[in-house]
Amino acid sequence: MTKIKTIGMLTSGGDAPGMNAALRAVTRAAIYNGFKVKGIYRGYRGLVENEIADFQAQDVSNIIHRGGTILRTARCNEFKTVEGRKKAFENMKKHDIDALVVIGGDGTLTGAREFAREFDVPIVGIPGTIDNDLYGTDHTIGYDTALNTIMWCVDRIRDTANSHERLFFIEVMGRNAGFLALNGAIAGGAEAAIIPEISIEQDQLAELIEHGFRTTKKSSIVLVAESPITGGAMGLAERVRNEYPQYDVRVTILGHLQRGGSPTAQDRILASRMGAAAIDALVEGQRNVMIGDDDEKMVYVPFSKAIKNEKTIDPQLLQTVHELSI
């Protein structure tokens, strides 16, 4: 696979606002550079099951503003096997696909790395996940939109919290990363963020209730990252009911609401730049790299670093939440 003529593109894992903008950019940048483009439906499952179609510039018209992914997405256990990946490679050859651009999160890049190792396929990854948990990029596609959705929800929940003088735990997505909870707390003016990067002890919960909810405010809002480490919003609310029964506590789990909706301007711009950069990477002979955003510059991050290295939380953000909650 020395000369690339045809590029296949897919979206995999959880959907994220801005994926369509990335598909649009990949398609048009590829055609601009003289490549043919194939769209692979339903992620790696579509590659295994041969759900592949030609894409032209008009196929990605009027999608930059749409959430989700027009290629759709799915989990694929078969691709995790050697036999499944062999079928995927054979389908690539049937369609004369020489290289792949894959859009997704950690699982997507992990699959891409294995596939590239086994079959010497040039692959470029684009980070598309609302969790913002991939090392090597300041932001992932979908993160800003999800953060704005959280802020929108917190603003409305606060009206009820104030009216009834309640303590609200709002659970947000993020798996084992607290970026959405922490920055959502700052943007929404919440009193605290409980995230998996920081172990939560009982005295911290007590301090929050006694010095935040009780002494200075008629209501409190706490953002909680979904994680076994934090116990989730339901677990924390149950603790409050058992240990501080004098407080009226409620729970709101935002769930998949955070993954939908029209992408923000920031996500559209980021996705467009990353999509074009993915084609630039292939033109330059790059392979097995993720496109990253480093201080608003597009960079190439090896899959091994993006997958293995942990993206850390800035502790100053926690201090900011604490200082502004008085």
pTM of the model: 0.94
Write the pLDDT tens digit of every residue in 58-75.
Answer: 999 999 999 999 999 998
Residue 15 is among the residues annotated as catalytic for this protein: no
> To the nearest whole number, what is the mean pLDDT of the chain?
92
Average pLDDT rounded to a whole number, residues 244-250: 87
Write the pLDDT tens digit of every residue in 148-207.
Answer: 999 999 999 999 988 887 889 999 998 889 999 999 999 999 988 889 887 655 455 666
The bridge status of strand 192-194 relative to strand 220-225 is: parallel
Given a contact cutoff of 8 angstroms between Cβ atoms, the answer to whether 235 and 251 are in contact is no
Residue 132 phi, psi (nearest 5): 60, 35
| Alpha carbons within 13 A on the beta-carbon side of 8 | 28
In angstroms, the CA 178 to CA 131 distance is 8
Contacting residues for 83 by C-beta, under 8 A, at least 6 apart: none
Amino acid 192 reads: A
Write the pLDDT tens digit of every residue in 98-149.
Answer: 999 999 999 999 999 999 999 999 999 999 999 999 999 999 999 999 999 9
Contacting residues for 263 by C-beta, under 8 A, at least 6 apart: 17, 18, 20, 21, 64, 65, 67, 141, 142, 144, 145, 271
Place of tokens 């050697």: 82
Contacting residues for 239 by C-beta, under 8 A, at least 6 apart: 202, 205, 231
Q: Domains plus CATH for the chain?
A: 6-142+263-308 (3.40.50.450), 144-259 (3.40.50.460)
The per-residue b/e assignment along 182-213, b for 16 or more CB within 10 angstroms, e otherwise, is bbbbbbbebbbbbbbbbebeeeebeebbeebb
Active-site residue identified among 106, 131, 267, 293: 131
